Structure 1
Amino acid sequence: MKKSVLLLFLIAISSTSFAQELPFKKVKLSDSIALENQMQQLAAICDTQNLSELDLFKFQLIRGEYEDALASIKKRVAETPIDQRQYLDVYIHYVEAKLSTNFKDAFKKSYNKYVKNSDDIQVLNLDKALIVRDPTDYYVSNFNTTYTSINSEKISQPIAIDLVKKYFLKSVFSSTRAIYFEEIKQDHKRRYVVNDSIVIPMKDGAEVSMVVVKRKGNSTAKKSAILVSSIYAGTNEASAMLSASKGYIGVIANTRGKRLSKSDIKPLEYEHTDVYEVIDWISKQSWSNQKVAMFGGSYNGFTQWASMKHKVHPALKTIVPMVAIAPGIDYPMENNILHNYSYSWNFYVTNNKFLDFEASNDFKRWNSLKNTWYKTGVAFNKLDSLDGRVNTLWNTYMQHPSYDDFWKKMIPYQQEFAKIDIPILTITGYYDDSQRGAIYYYNEHHKYAKNPNHYLLVGPYDHWAAQTKPEESLRNYKLDKAALINIEEELIYQWFDYILNGKAKPSILKDKVNFQVMGTNTWMHKPSLSAMTNDTLTFHLSADKTNDFYALKSKANNLEIQMSVDFKDRKSMTNTEYYPWPLERDQINLKDGLIFKSEALKEDVIINGSFLGNLEFSINKKDVDYSVIVYELTPEGNYFHLSYYIGRASYAKDREQRNLLIPNQKTKVSFDNSKLISKKLEKGSRIVVVVNVNKNNNAQINYGTGKDVNKESIKDAEIPLEIIFTGNSSISLPIWN
């Protein structure tokens, strides 16, 4: 729309349009011209005085004020580090192209030049941000859903502003995706030789699909190979290219059945043999110097440990498992409680030879499924019946609720850890969903192997950040600058250079256990996990209550605290704040669970490690799923989520054998594998502990009958759960003075 037409429109509208309500009349989403005009008009009448600089740019662009928008985005780009502006660079090329007479040609030409002038790392970051994690479909769907949900001819300022911002994302990425996809992929061909058509046979006749990446222009000398073994076919090429850019051969092996393999897709079950055979194949290639290293996160961390179950291949020189899952330990169940997020994951990785993003991103389906299951109270093993799809893997998982032979065959077990004698660097985070898996491997290796050459690095990272480069904030908490290390592009290759090429050890690894102390901007370095702490703060539960808080006492007592949970009640849930998001908030739900608060700390202390729990209680059932959350209540009145634990009482003593409780008889359950953390606690802070029973739509509901929990249903909920904790129950925080 020309400025003169827009001016007439602005004059015509009522001055009240600049108040709270704005006129809005729907057009057909398929009518792109009408939609563009409407969004331009809406952007023009929105109140943008309090918008951020970046959001103001979005409104300038949608209004058609391209010169102003270009000036705004150039300023923002100049202030942003190059490794954090993959989206911003799309924006600047988009605006420049809008100022030309041929948008597509102009964008293609400028983006092509931009990519060619970028170094290897920068282009790979573009690939990861724009292709591997392609946001376009989400942006389109998000706008369309928001737009169609509006059923009024007037909308508020916040809704209008939100709609324009979502339209901006939809417009920019949907009109440029095909172009930048092609430019990035063509640039890869300019830099690398990629052989993605390799299929190798396994001894049992199955097939594994492989990708080998070499940097063009390098010598023909034999090189070490950096292997990523992954079920996520089609997403690891950038990692292999990164290895090639660092002077190695990048290799990807996909789980049997994935990519070009004609075998059946079997997640988790065959990596313990297949990955070993892949390493053997690599060691026999003409380009190999018989040195292989592995790295990768989550599933790709598990495959590294799986490769060493039976023996360590002579060519395997080191592994760097990041946020590694441990099947049967922390995935798909945690402390024997089966979570439902693995239900959708199974479709994501098995629906086709690559990944089914459409199924994975069908949040409406997954939310509807778990809500329907919770509201109806049907048994957990009926999830796929409610979904209307057969979920073979899910049904298999439910047949193995304890840590039995099905799980044990996947990774080293007990004495099988003793033979693992290669250098290892384990990386995880305080808020990593798979931290318990990563620490399980670390502990078992140290338990059975003699003086293992095994390093641990852990910081204030979640499942994603611990595999890549942490951003400045994690779940609303601003990280210390010391925590902002580049794990993916620098640290792990410093480690590979150290092990494979005899270069200096990464400077951050000053001892075997290396951890960032939140709130101090420093790292600590200790020879072992146990050396992280030199003292303990122990608190006992008590029935003394002031307002919403029971008291945490320094000594055991004879008082009892009672809690009742009605599993028939599906209008409410319990333990809904178990997951730490955000990390810091100004309030928590004081009506969910039993809330205990300590006296104010008399001095600063550092909590280092995993908190311990010794809960003494009696229940009127044979079992219970319980949780414990520990917060720091700061002097300013904010709750900081420190750590958390969830477990099934009947497996507290032994994850391999279920031991049911005797109803109405006191029992003690103990745990020491809560989420590890390191953080400075300020003088004047208080410790807040939430003890709860798990009843929500994110995991199994244990009704306490003693039957298979997967088969229990709301029919087993006639009698509410009554649980009585005694004052002998304690929570102990490991600290460093």
Structure 2
Amino acid sequence: MKKSFLILLLFTISVTSFAQELPFQKAELSDSVALANQMQQLATQCDTQNLSTLDQFKFQLIRGEYKDALTSIKKSVAEIPIDQRQYLDVYLHYAEAKLSTNFKNAFKNSYSKYVKKSDDIQVINLDKALILRDPTDYYVSDFNNTYSNIKSGKITQEIAKDLVKKYFLSTVFSSTGGIYFEEIKQDHKRRYVVNDSIVIPMKDGAEVSVVLVQRKESSTTKKSAILVSSIYTGTNVASAMLAASKGYVGVIANTRGKRLSKSDIKPLEYEHTDVYEVIDWICKQSWSNQKVAMFGGSYNGFTQWASMKHKVHPALKTIVPMVAIAPGIDYPMENNVLHNYSYSWNFYVTNNKFLDFEASNDFNRWNTLKNTWYKTGVAYNKLDSLDGQVNKLWNTYMQHPSYDDYWKKMIPYKEEFAKIDIPILTITGYYDDSQRGAIYYYNQHHKYAKNPNHYLLIGPYDHWTAQSKPQESLRNYKLDKSALINIEEDIIFQWFDYVLNGKEKPSILKDKVNFQVMDTDTWMHKPSLSAMTNDTLTYYLNATKTDDFFELMSEANPSKVNMIVDFKDRESMTNTDYYPWPLEKDNINLNDGLIFKSEALKEDVIINGSFTGNLEFSINKKDVDYSVIVYQLTPENKYFHLSYYIGRASFAKDREYRNLLIPNEKAKVSFNNSKLISKKIVKGSRIVVVVNVNKNNNAQINYGTGRDVNSESIKDAEIPLKIIFTGNSSISLPIWNSVKE
């Protein structure tokens, strides 16, 4: 009987494994046994001959071939550096435990030994990957959603393979998560003393909750403190542990109202006083040597600048702001254009004392909201009415469309930068959403302070990798090896050792401005941002059109290019591709905006810095939100997204005061704060520029009436926008010419 069943099974496999489709009859997701049997059968039927060793392992595991799976995963693990295999090591211990008669005990024991043998940094990385960014819920829901959307009958080999891989992730993490959570947390207790019950009173009666982390050791030497000031409660303990493992005391101060604080939650508004008082508290502790340094990214970068709004605390010796937002400059609006991504962020950080992940990850809610708003054409200030929940912070933002006193009170303003005299290391990336904030601080500090001791490190990183360790690829672009630096674990603490302990400065900081030149595998080092550039490529818009492209010319010309945008049309959008994701693609939307193309470059050039624009046009409205995107069209006809600018014409001259346009009169609008980049552009490439008007579901729609944009609606769209660009309109690309060096 067993032999007949085996022959039948082998025959079934031979027939179905190479077929285009496989039989599929849905089981109940709640029936784990039936589901496991079905996934095992699918894994057996799938053609896996051309899969990678790691993917082969997944199918072997689901098929129940645990010895073979263990061999495959050991081979995969051997090829990956230990700091990049947090997931793989879970797979390895899972496969080993599957060979035991008691899976849970076997996994617990082996994983416990593994964690104890790991050094501090490795365990911190395990915490970040497996606890802080716990993937379990995502993998479970991803499999469940995929499975639920498949109809019974037959499925293709590709769908079957995808389903087995997702089942693998769902199964492995749901069955091990609780175990490795506990083992990692227990190991933290073995290495560190964590005091998470500290509440500090502020002078105005408010409270700030603080967490203190120290490495367990017998030394009584007083130490410097590394402070992270954050609204992201519960997410920075690993950073404090990292500081403790490096010989410092890690301190986390959460925004007032968060964690154990009984105050009201007020994002952005009180860091300019609260952080200073936290530093003062640190100096009075018995373990403190009265030296404090700060680091952190995004909001945690902003808090460092905020702490110096009124004066620099004598104990604050240095800051390392990474991808720092600048309220009113690049958050929640960009060049005075309010984006709706901040709408959900407000609920994420204010719904409770920690973080509301459920609200933040309710993508259906946020997508439905922005699509409904766009389709109906109601005013932007009705978003929370559509949502059905009052958004107090959002309504406050909308009352301050210019850079007014509301924003100015949060961070240093103009001459207030002059007194900041401590060493600073600013870190950001070419594709960091907060790059404009980071560079704003850098420029203002250099404008008002005399010879500031301020360094800049920037490369092909985004908002996340510029705070940690870049991966080999960013948005489908493979980074040069020289760009693969460990920012958080190496560069930052080398800087702290340099400033606080008199050790060598990080070797990568050879000058004040240090930037990686994409596609050259090299870094350049210059004394200032202006020194990055010694030449300029200037292109003028021209009405001559070949196929889908207008011309970019080297000289001004008398031509005119017209563009019409119907704001009543809600079946289509404009400016949907300005955000650089992916970085390189085969095609762009040639029907969205005005597309201009240059002649082929006759020699290699390096674009270094921020492109500028001087647009001359007339418009039949009083205002317009516009964008400019710059691409490299490679000799292989690939479009590489270099940089973009988006802004409001009425604030182009001054972000603090709105200067409306005069309808049908020629206007000149200039900008110089596009996203900075450094990249080699090879001979034969062309520059493609897309000039557009912003009309989509991701930001305000400026109908051009001259009234408050937040109150405008589709009722103001009776007359289409008509804009006429002249041939005096130019785009200038800053370049480095080695011949002039």
Give the TM-score range, shorter chain: over 0.9
What is the DSSP-based 3-state SS (H/G/I as helix, E as strand, rest coil) of the residue aligned with 1:543?
strand
CA distance in 2, matches of 1:687, 1:368: 37
Change beyond 3 A, Cα 1:109–1:530: same
Equivalent residue letter for 2:499: I
* Pair 1:704-2:687 in alignment: no
C-alpha deviation, 1:13, in angstroms = 7.2
Change beyond 3 A, Cα 1:654–1:8: same
C-alpha deviation, 1:3, in angstroms = 11
C-alpha deviation, 1:568, in angstroms = 1.1
C-alpha deviation, 1:17, in angstroms = 6.2
Match of 1:138 in 2: 138
* Pair 1:504-2:511 in alignment: no
C-alpha deviation, 1:14, in angstroms = 8.9
| CA-to-aligned-CA distance 1:244-300 (integer Å, 9 cap, x gap) | 000000000000011111111111010000000000000111100000000000000
What is the DSSP-based 3-state SS (H/G/I as helix, E as strand, rest coil) of the residue aligned with 1:39?
helix
Equivalent residue letter for 2:373: W
Residues 349-498 of structure 1: matches in 2 within 5 Å? 349-498=349-498
Identity of aligned residues (%): 85
C-alpha deviation, 1:644, in angstroms = 0.5
Equivalent residue letter for 1:692: N
Equivalent residue letter for 1:272: H
Match of 2:304 in 1: 304
What is the DSSP-based 3-state SS (H/G/I as helix, E as strand, rest coil) of the residue aligned with 1:506?
coil
C-alpha deviation, 1:18, in angstroms = 3.5
C-alpha deviation, 1:534, in angstroms = 0.3
CA distance in 2, matches of 1:617, 1:537: 21
CA distance in 2, matches of 1:490, 1:125: 14
Moved over 3 A (4+): 2-14
Match of 1:611 in 2: 611
Match of 2:569 in 1: 569
Change beyond 3 A, Cα 1:7–1:469: farther
CA distance in 2, matches of 1:67, 1:61: 9
Q: RMSD between aligned alpha carbons?
A: 1.3
C-alpha deviation, 1:53, in angstroms = 2.4
Match of 1:98 in 2: 98
Change beyond 3 A, Cα 1:99–1:4: farther
Runs of at least 5 residues in structure 1 that lack an aligned partner in the other structure: none
TM-score scaled by length of structure 2: 0.98
Preserved contact between residue 16 and residue 45 of structure 2 (Cα < 8 Å): no
| CA-to-aligned-CA distance 1:702-737 (integer Å, 9 cap, x gap) | 111111111111111111111110000000000000
Change beyond 3 A, Cα 1:696–1:3: farther
* Pair 1:174-2:174 in alignment: yes
What is the DSSP-based 3-state SS (H/G/I as helix, E as strand, rest coil) of the residue aligned with 1:57?
helix
CA distance in 1, matches of 2:160, 2:272: 54
Match of 1:346 in 2: 346
What is the DSSP-based 3-state SS (H/G/I as helix, E as strand, rest coil) of the residue aligned with 2:497?
helix
Match of 2:25 in 1: 25
| CA-to-aligned-CA distance 1:409-451 (integer Å, 9 cap, x gap) | 0000011101100000000000000000000000000111111
Preserved contact between residue 518 and residue 680 of structure 2 (Cα < 8 Å): yes
Match of 1:329 in 2: 329
Preserved contact between residue 627 and residue 645 of structure 2 (Cα < 8 Å): yes
CA distance in 2, matches of 1:648, 1:361: 30
C-alpha deviation, 1:549, in angstroms = 0.6
CA distance in 2, matches of 1:736, 1:693: 31
CA distance in 1, matches of 2:5, 2:85: 35
What is the DSSP-based 3-state SS (H/G/I as helix, E as strand, rest coil) of the residue aligned with 1:576?
coil
* Pair 1:57-2:38 in alignment: no
C-alpha deviation, 1:407, in angstroms = 0.5
| CA-to-aligned-CA distance 1:534-574 (integer Å, 9 cap, x gap) | 00000000001100011100000010000111111111111
What is the DSSP-based 3-state SS (H/G/I as helix, E as strand, rest coil) of the residue aligned with 2:167?
helix
C-alpha deviation, 1:49, in angstroms = 2.8
CA distance in 2, matches of 1:412, 1:719: 42
What is the DSSP-based 3-state SS (H/G/I as helix, E as strand, rest coil) of the residue aligned with 1:647?
strand
CA distance in 1, matches of 2:31, 2:638: 48
Equivalent residue letter for 1:628: V
Residues 34-183 of structure 1: matches in 2 within 5 Å? 34-183=34-183
Equivalent residue letter for 1:258: K
Preserved contact between residue 10 and residue 45 of structure 1 (Cα < 8 Å): no
Change beyond 3 A, Cα 1:157–1:505: same
CA distance in 1, matches of 2:617, 2:469: 44
C-alpha deviation, 1:212, in angstroms = 0.6
Preserved contact between residue 13 and residue 44 of structure 2 (Cα < 8 Å): no
What is the DSSP-based 3-state SS (H/G/I as helix, E as strand, rest coil) of the residue aligned with 1:348?
helix
C-alpha deviation, 1:366, in angstroms = 1.1
Change beyond 3 A, Cα 1:81–1:3: farther
CA distance in 1, matches of 2:434, 2:388: 30
Preserved contact between residue 457 and residue 513 of structure 2 (Cα < 8 Å): yes
Preserved contact between residue 564 and residue 721 of structure 1 (Cα < 8 Å): yes
Equivalent residue letter for 1:679: K
Change beyond 3 A, Cα 1:547–1:3: farther
C-alpha deviation, 1:161, in angstroms = 1.3
Residues 527-538 of structure 1: matches in 2 within 5 Å? 527-538=527-538
CA distance in 2, matches of 1:569, 1:481: 47
| CA-to-aligned-CA distance 1:16-65 (integer Å, 9 cap, x gap) | 56422211111111111111111111111122233232222111111111
- Relative to structure 2, which stretch is displaced further, 695-704 or 436-445? 695-704
What is the DSSP-based 3-state SS (H/G/I as helix, E as strand, rest coil) of the residue aligned with 1:643?
strand
Preserved contact between residue 13 and residue 45 of structure 2 (Cα < 8 Å): no
- Relative to structure 2, which stretch is displaced further, 60-69 or 677-686? 60-69
| CA-to-aligned-CA distance 1:587-607 (integer Å, 9 cap, x gap) | 111111111010111111110
Preserved contact between residue 6 and residue 41 of structure 1 (Cα < 8 Å): no
Equivalent residue letter for 2:539: F
CA distance in 1, matches of 2:225, 2:131: 25
Equivalent residue letter for 2:595: I
Match of 1:314 in 2: 314
Preserved contact between residue 17 and residue 23 of structure 1 (Cα < 8 Å): no
Match of 2:294 in 1: 294
CA distance in 1, matches of 2:170, 2:22: 22
Change beyond 3 A, Cα 1:458–1:13: closer
